Amino acid sequence: MSVILGKEKDTDVVVRFIKEGEISVRGKSLLFPIRNTGNKPLDYRWTIADALETVKSLKVKSVFFKKPGFISKKDWYRFFYEGILLAEYSFDEFKTSKEGIDIYFDGEENEYSRIAELYADSTNFTRNLVNTPPNIATPEYLAKTAEEISKKNGYEIKIFDKKDIERLGMNAFLAVNWGSEKEPYFVHMKYSPENPKGRIVLVGKALTFDSGGLSLKSSEGMMTMKIDKSGACAVLGVFKNLKELGSDYEVHGIFAATENMPDGKAVRPGDIVKSYSGKTIEILNTDAEGRLTLADALAYACEFEPDYLIDMATLTGAAVVALGEFTAALFSNDDALANGIIRSSQFAAERFWRMPLNDPFIYEKLKTYDADMKNTSLDRWGGAIYGALFLKEFVKDGIKWAHIDLAGPVFNTKRWAYNPVGATGFGVRTMLRFITGR
């Protein structure tokens, strides 16, 4: 499928949006009511996505979406147009037959449409990366993708291979890689505007496949573990169009890419490693591996003294249990940063819920008798909070930091709102809004 901007065409169906009422058909016109949950950015995107699904069910070949007079020009492009660009996405890279309909959208090229296209393109690019299977999307693949984006946009980039990572002393990251035949890569991208007013560092979790290591997942638990790279893919999605959107901030993108596999050389429950920060970690569960890679990535990121440090990670199943599969857990040590992310998420129609980061009782669980901390609790309770508190240990005092546990909303087993089955690209548009204000 493709979306074409223009004037009204002679299509099989014309979708006309109405303020309220029932879905009905009048000749070639499909009258479609607009959702009203009280969140306009969500309602408008969701409405046009539902309308597209209804049109598909009619088995037609073409459709025109007509702008109603009661919708503003800005809302029509930023929410409806972006919504259709998101909703028409499908991952068909490995399908031998491809189907679709011609989609025409009432409008013209302008600033609003261009921003909507860039937001959707970044999101769909991220969806493609997350959906790409682990035999193709290896750590090297992610590093090369970052290199291609940087070359195209003129970003600075540093790519550290295994020898570099060993030299840097990123032993927590390396421990996760011990059981894999795929080489690890540590990637650092940098966008530099003229006279930046501050510095933002994004860190993404980049497990291209997570078997659980020796703490092996079930076969069912492994089926979708290509999504464990979603945080890093979101960072790459942000950087894909960051230059064109522009930002007053210097922006860094960092990720530590590896697989987590079982092997005779794999890290064992009970092993102790010295992290990049110098702090020691007892690894009691090798399936709590993302926080090990992030520990070194966050400590490295702090050396650049960012005004804001934000990590995105499919960190815990506990976050999904707590909030469901549609909402990300947000932890932060700074109220203004957390509120800024939530405001941006509301515009982007992505759901975040702030979680507690000051729990002294769960913090006590980090302690272990033979290292500075252990990577997992000995019980099931408060797992998302435990993971956030663990990461906080590697964030330098005084740095404004947010941790986004997006394990739930990054992947769908069935379509919801403007998100198709598979990867959703969650987090990209919220970060773009937060960083660029566009």
Catalytic site positions: 217, 291
Asked if residues 256 and 297 have their Cβ atoms less than 8 Å apart, the reply is yes
Neighbouring CB atoms inside 10 A of 152's CB total: 10
| Alpha helices in 100-216, H assignment, sequence order | 111-131, 139-153, 162-168, 171-177
SS3 of residue 254 by DSSP: strand
Query: Distance (Å, rounded) from C-alpha 296 to C-alpha 394?
Result: 8
Assign residue 363 a region (left: φ > 0; alpha: ψ between -120 and 50; beta: otherwise).
Answer: alpha
Strand ranges across the sheet with 271-274:
271-274, 280-283, 373-374
Task: Find out whether 30 and 18 touch, Cβ atoms under 8 Å.
Answer: no
Q: Are 31 and 23 in contact (CB under 8 A)?
A: yes
255 CB burial (10 A radius; 0-12, 13-18, 19+): buried
